[in-house]
Amino acid sequence: MPSVPMRKLLRLGLLLCLVAPVLVAQGQSGDPAPPDAQRVELLDRMGGLVTASVSLPDGSLLIAEGSALVRFDPAGEGQIIARQDLGQGVILDLAEAFPFYYALTEKGFLILGAGGESNTPQRLSFTPGGGQAFAVREGLIAIAAREEGLRLLQVESPGNARLLATLALPGEALDVALDADGTRVYVAGGDGGVLAVDIADPAEPHLIGSLPEIATAETVAMAGSLLAVGSRGQVLLIDPSSAAGRVGLYAPLHRGRRLTIRDDYAYIADAAGGLKIIWLAAPDRPVQVYG
C-alpha cells in the first residue's frame, strides 16, 4: 500500500473542525508505510471555533478562527504570526485559487488578495449573503446557502464578485462540489440527499434531481469522477454518471464534519473520532489507514 502524503495534506491545513480545541498536525516524510499514530506529529492546539484553513506560499497556514484569519507557522516551534479580524461574523469556509483567497462568512463572501507586510491576505471585495460552504473552479463560485439554496457568483478582475443566480432547493444546502468540467454542481441537502444541478449556463441553473441510494448527505467532495458523500455515520462513494449509484461504502463514523479528497485519500474530520484517513485506490473497498 502506498504511503499517504501526510505532509502535503497538512500543508493544505485540514483541521478537526469542531468547537473544541483544534489539532494542527503534520506527518513524517520518507516513510513508505501507511500512517499510524507514531507518524503524526502534534504541532499545536488552537482554541475557539476553527472551521477551515489553506496553505500560504511560504509554507505557513491561514486558519479561519471565529471571525478572524490567523497566520500560523508550523515550522520549528510553531507560532501564530498574525491575526486579522474580517469583521463579518464567523468564517465558515476558506479556499485558495490563485491569485485570490476566498472566505465565506455568516454575512457574506469575501475575496482577498496577496498579503501585506504580515503576509496575511487583504480584503478586495465583499458580497452580502452568507452560507455554509462553497466550491470554486475557474472563477465560478458555488455557495451552499442553507435555506436559501444554491448561490452562484462569478469572480471578475480585479477581485470583484458578480451574482449570477440563486436557485431554491428542497431542504437545506449544507455543502457543495463542482464536477471536473464545471457544468454540474452536487449539493449535500441534508435529509434531501445529494442534489444534482445543471450549471452549463451558470446564469440559468436548474435542478436535475437527487442521486439514488442516499437518504442523508451532510458533506460532499469530488474524488476523480466519483463523488464522496458524508452521510451521518458513513462515507459513500457514488458514480453520479451511473444508474447503479453507489460504488463503495466506509463506516462507521460518528459524524463527518468536513471531507477533503487528495490523490487516493479521503481525509475526514469526525465529530467524535477526530482525523480519519481513508484509502480510496480501490473505490469499491475503501480502507481506513489512520484514525
pLDDT, tens digit (0-9, with 9 covering 90-100), for 31-73? 434 444 334 455 555 556 788 888 888 888 898 999 999 988 8
Q: Is residue 19 part of a domain?
A: no
Question: Which pLDDT value is given to residue 263?
Answer: 80
Coil, helix or strand at residue 7: helix
Q: Is residue 98 part of a domain?
A: yes
Domain that holds residue 132: 89-290
Q: Describe the strand order of the beta sheet including 274-279 as a list of residue ranges.
A: 256-262, 265-270, 274-279, 287-290
Q: Is residue 57 part of a domain?
A: no
Q: Is residue 157 part of a domain?
A: yes
Q: Is residue 6 part of a domain?
A: no
Q: How far apart are CA 100 and CA 113, in angstroms?
A: 5
C-beta atoms surrounding 129 within 10 Å = 15
pLDDT in tens, 127-157: 999 999 999 999 999 999 999 999 999 999 8
List for the chain the helix, strand, coil content (%; round to 5): 5, 55, 45
Q: Is residue 117 part of a domain?
A: yes
Low-confidence residues of the chain: pLDDT under 70 = 1-48, 76-78, 115-118, 244, 252-257, 271-273, 291
Q: For the whole model, what pTM was predicted?
A: 0.82
Q: How far apart are CA 129 and CA 106, in angstroms?
A: 8
What Rg do the C-alpha atoms of the chain give, in angstroms?
Answer: 18
Q: Is residue 285 part of a domain?
A: yes
Q: Is residue 147 part of a domain?
A: yes
CATH number for the domain that contains residue 106:
2.130.10.10
Total structural domains within the chain: 1
